[in-house]
Amino acid sequence: MTAPTRAHIILPEDLLAEVDRVAGKRKRSHFVESAIREKLSREALSAALRESAGAIDLESYPEWKTPERVSAWVRSLRREDDVRLARKAGPRSR
């Protein structure tokens, strides 16, 4: 983490009042920093999703062609995991 640097920003009065109501006047900087980091993270994720769009050939993965097929595929994987875990756990004594 780098050392804090001062920055002058201009906010609408109603927005600043809402920040103060939620975070408190003494916590403005922390609140704004957190909000900026969250927004930057979402922007980075959106960029990664745009860049990777079309990277998977759906012909090679028919289970990903529709939302319904994806749901069925996930359910089957979960069932397989349940069976594997039950086998690992062995018989339970009550």
Domain that holds residue 21: 13-52
pLDDT at 90: 81
Q: Report which of 71, 93, 75 is spatially closest to residue 83, judged by C-alpha positions.
A: 75
One domain, residues 27 and 61: no
One domain, residues 60 and 48: no
pTM metric for this prediction: 0.61
CB 85 within 8 A of CB 91: no
Query: How many angstroms separate the CA atoms of 52 and 59, rounded?
Result: 17
Alpha helices by DSSP H, listed for the chain, are: 13-23, 28-52, 67-89
One domain, residues 19 and 44: yes
pLDDT at 91: 76
pLDDT at 92: 67
Question: What's the domain count of the chain?
Answer: 2
pLDDT at 54: 85
The angle, 0 to 180 degrees and rounded to 10, between the axes of the packed helices 28-52 and 13-23 is 100
The reply to whether 26 falls in a domain is yes
The reply to whether 5 falls in a domain is no
The reply to whether 2 falls in a domain is no
One domain, residues 63 and 88: yes
pLDDT at 58: 82
Residue segments in the chain with a per-residue pLDDT below the cut of 50 = none
The reply to whether 40 falls in a domain is yes
